[in-house]
């Protein structure tokens, strides 16, 4: 593990999945041309986010469904790994709000279901994910996936850090009125856990909602490495293994008093 160059795709939601895949294909080519090895897309990037319970159910599919296969073909065509969001079919209720990591060879390496649902928007459309986030390995890096609201709770990011995560990848659809997440919370999550945090937000409008953009990458000491503003953008950042090792050398995680934290499980 030395460096990892990633791209964050900050975009508005397309009208349909056909347009979404066409835009993803073009963006993957653009990101790879700028030496990115990984492209992180916003939450529910292939279908739209606030689409209503019926449409979310109609578009839901298994993790190895047609959307997955289309993304795998794009990843292989351009030689770039892709994290994308989609509604995952759930045999026991509403779909899951899911994000999947597909490697440059088209292999599905991780699928995560959003565990913390945001208000009536999420609860009307989705079931909460039943499993805690888990770390997976890719190209020598230990990575974890969270989705939007998940990163606003300290526990999910801390769980990934305790599993040895080097970077937390966060597809999101954060609204413009909640800029404090990017300004305050994300640098804090990176610093307190000594991990990189890559946050790919939507922008523009969807229905009556305006998404805030401000996609960013924070280093493991909370330093802002790269960021977007409000409009559509492709943010390129290189994560350094040396920076990670230096941050770990001063980490406070070894000083944790886990024996005192029983209330956190309630």
Kindly name the residue from 11, 37, 41, 43 that is annotated as catalytic: 43
Cβ neighbours of residue 224 under 8 Å, at least 6 residues apart? 187, 216, 217, 218
Kindly name the residue from 148, 152, 203, 218 that is annotated as catalytic: 148
Instruction: Tell me if residue 43 is catalytic.
Output: yes
Instruction: Tell me if residue 221 is catalytic.
Output: no
* Reduced 3-state DSSP string for the chain: CCEEEEEEEECCCCCCHHHHHHHHHHHHHHHHHCCCCEEECCCCCCCCCCCCHHHHHHHCECCCCHHHHHHHHHHHHHCCEEEEEEEECCCCCCCEEEEEEECCCCCEEEEEECCCCCHHHHHHHCECCCCCCCCEEECCEEEEECCHHHHHCHHHHHHHHHCCCCEEEEECCCEHHHCHHHHHHHHHHHHHHCCEEEEECCEEEECCEEEECCCEEECCCCCEEEECCCCCEEEEEEEEHHHHHHHHHCCCHHHCCHHHCHHHHC
Kindly name the residue from 11, 94, 114, 218 that is annotated as catalytic: 114
DSSP bridge pairs for 4: 239
Instruction: Tell me if residue 114 is catalytic.
Output: yes
Give the residue numbers annotated as catalytic, written as ranges: 43, 114, 148
């Amino acid at each position: 593990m030395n460096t990892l160059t990633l791209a964050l795709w900050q975009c508005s939601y397309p009208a349909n999945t056909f347009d979404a895949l066409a835009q993803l294909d073009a963006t993957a080519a653009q990101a790879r041309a700028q030496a990115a090895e990984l492209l992180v897309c916003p939450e529910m990037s292939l279908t739209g986010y606030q689409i209503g319970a019926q449409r979310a159910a109609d578009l839901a599919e298994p993790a190895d469904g047609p959307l997955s296969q289309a993304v795998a073909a794009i990843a292989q065509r351009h030689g770039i790994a892709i994290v994308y969001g989609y509604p995952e079919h759930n045999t026991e209720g509403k779909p899951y709000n899911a994000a999947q990591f597909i490697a440059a060879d088209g292999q599905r390496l991780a699928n995560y279901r959003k565990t913390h649902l945001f208000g009536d928007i999420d609860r009307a459309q989705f079931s909460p994910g039943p499993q805690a986030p888990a770390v997976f390995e890719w190209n020598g890096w230990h990575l974890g996936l969270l989705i939007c609201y998940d990163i606003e709770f300290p526990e999910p990011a801390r769980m990934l850090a305790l599993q040895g995560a080097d970077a937390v990848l966060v597809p999101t659809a954060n609204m413009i009125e909640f800029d404090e997440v990017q300004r305050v919370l994300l640098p804090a999550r990176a610093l307190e856990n000594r991990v990189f945090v890559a946050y790919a937000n939507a922008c523009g409008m969807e229905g009556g909602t305006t998404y805030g953009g401000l996609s960013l990458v924070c280093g493991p000491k909370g330093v802002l490495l790269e960021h977007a503003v409000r409009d559509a953008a492709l943010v390129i950042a290189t994560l350094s293994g040396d920076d990670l090792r230096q941050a770990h050398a001063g980490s406070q995680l070894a000083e944790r008093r886990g024996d005192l934290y029983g209330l956190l499980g309630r």
